[in-house]
Amino acid sequence: GENVEQHPSTLSVQEGDSAVIKCTYSDSASNYFPWYKQELGKRPQLIIDIRSNVGEKKDQRIAVTLNKTAKHFSLHITETQPEDSAVYFCAASSLGYQKVTFGTGTKLQVIP
Amino acid sequence: ETGVTQTPRHLVMGMTNKKSLKCEQHLGHNAMYWYKQSAKKPLELMFVYNFKEQTENNSVPSRFSPECPNSSHLFLHLHTLQPEDSALYLCASSQGQGNTEAFFGQGTRLTVV
């Protein structure tokens, strides 16, 4: 089955700096890669996703890149703000959420 | 609110008890999911239902029994649980099982004593 590894497990950055979270996956058939943000005590919420037919997607301060050959994808947050502090999960799937596999999460702390 | 509601929010039960978790979605989605979130495995898919039919059982022990009477409601029946089953149980829904966004509920924090 699919195996998703996520690094780092914790990340501290100064406000205004950039943050990068990296994930690798094992199943070459995976074609959907969502990223979720979970604030303390709250539910996970989708912040961005990418499909295998594109290499990069951007939404304001958030961007995701995908390298299918190397089987890795990354989340980039620029100009970080304290409200970006949360746990971020990457995921990979070849059949939508029927077979989704999540990474182990990255706890991001943005220091004011 | 995302339209996915879970009750109860917190539950403490003994190992011999029987309890049920409830999930309701008002988004018109036809796929619903149960996830387990714990320190060991942050987001672990347990069950998938599509149009009320179970399409995935991710090797979950039989002490967890799901029920989906219609596309809007999902239950997780619990019996003879173990302390290691203590976790946050999250329900989610999506429009189909394809590559579309899944909306999560707030979760039920379960403690087995």
Q: To which H or E segment does residue A11 belong? A: strand A10-14
Distance CA B33, CA A56 (A): 29
Kindly list the residues from chain B whose CB atom is less than 8 angstroms away from the CB atom of residue A89: 42-43
Note the pLDDT tens digit of each residue in A4-45.
999 999 999 999 999 999 999 999 989 889 999 999 989 999
pLDDT in tens, A54-74: 899 999 999 999 999 999 999
**Ordered mean pLDDT values, 10 residues apiece, chain B (113 residues):** 87 94 94 90 87 79 94 95 96 78 93 95
Question: Residue B61: what residue type?
Answer: P
B48 closest CB neighbour out of A36, A45, A98:
A98
Which residues in chain A are contacts of B101 at CB distance < 8 A?
34, 46, 49
The single-letter code of the amino acid at A45 is Q
Quick one: average pLDDT of A99-110?
Answer: 91
- pLDDT value at residue A1: 76
CB spacing of B101 vs A95 below 8 angstroms: no
| B40-44 contacts at long range (C-beta below 8 A, 24 or more positions apart) | B41/A104, B42/A87, B42/A89, B42/A102, B42/A103, B42/A104, B42/A105, B43/A36, B43/A44, B43/A89, B43/A91, B43/A102, B43/A105, B43/B90, B44/A102
List the one residue out of A108, A109, A111, A103 whose CA is nearest residue A34: A103
Chain A with chain B: Cβ pairs closer than 8 A: 62
